[in-house]
Structure 1
Amino acid sequence: MTAPVVRAAGCVLWRRAAVPGAVELALVHRPKYDDWSLPKGKLKRGEDALSCALREVLEETGMRCEPGLRLPVSRYLVDGRPKEVHWWAAEAVGGRFVPSREVDRLLWLGPEAARWRLTHDRDRPLVDALLSVLGLLP
């Protein structure tokens, strides 16, 4: 018997940078895993993926955001169980980060620095997916 799929959702959270036409992406540090990732989390019972993504962004970054276009779904194994993460591009529109036990640091980085800082290879294509939907890929 196969294990049920762990369903999760998140956002590639972005904001306009000081340089015209440039953006910064939000990365969160999770001390439990000592990793840098994009804000995401598991769906609660009865919750749809977009609601989960927006809730997780608020919980992990303190930011309210405007969701944009959907990004590619990530599929991978965690401890032998399949996990599926639905992603959205989302622009930060306000808020304030407060460290917690789950997320102790938040970084705003340009796309190249974000790609380098992300711990998991599976998260890196989401940077290009965001740049594509924002029309910022050459």
Structure 2
Amino acid sequence: MTAADPILAAGCVLWRRMPYGGGGTQIAVIFRPKWRDWSHPKGKLKRGEDPRAGALREVLEETGMTCELGIELSSVRYEVQGRPKVVRYWAAEATGGWFEPNREVTRLLWLSPTAARARLTRTRDKELLDAFLTARKGA
């Protein structure tokens, strides 16, 4: 591995049906104190790890939630300390679990799509949410 090799990561736009009727959708957003940001759950892949398995693992580690992967969303590319990073994302419906604050993630909020978009720190995460919402409308 060289400095030019991209850091490979995977994550999800984690969603659930509103628990109290109405049939709406809630989006999970997490607060990462190290970066002081609100984002979607994601993380680096382990050596040789399948990206889908990595996305499921990262969601579980960061949110305590199990989930079922849906459609693959667009990949996000950016630099971290001068090195390229590629994050593959999936839409993922939460199927169970319980959040407990941990070293990496201290808060998880379930928000309406509008509130989630307003809470997300980075433009790329907002664009990813928009892509998820567009895909959900077409489903």
Shorter chain as denominator, the TM-score bin is over 0.9
Partner residue, 1:27: 29
Is the partner of 2:137 in helix, strand or coil?
coil
Hey, what does 2:107 align to over in structure 1?
105
Q: In the comparison of the two structures, how many residue pairs are matched? A: 137
Partner of 2:7: 6
> Which stretches of structure 1, 4 residues or more, deviate above 2 A after TM superposition?
18-21
**Identity across aligned pairs (percent)?**
59
Q: State the Cα distance separating 1:91 from its structure 2 match.
A: 0.3
Q: Which runs of 5+ in 2 are unaligned?
A: none
Report deviation, 1:136: 7.0
CA RMSD of aligned residues (A): 1.6
1:41 aligned residue: 43
Equivalent position to 2:127, from 125, 134, 137 = 125
Q: Deviations over 1:26-74 (max 9, x none)?
A: 0111111111110000000110110000000000000000100000000
Partner Cα distance (1:89, 1:20) in 2: 21
Runs of 5+ unmatched residues, structure 1:
none
Matched, 1:85 2:87: yes
Calculate the TM-score normalised by the size of structure 1. Answer: 0.93
Using the size of structure 2 for normalisation, the TM-score is 0.93
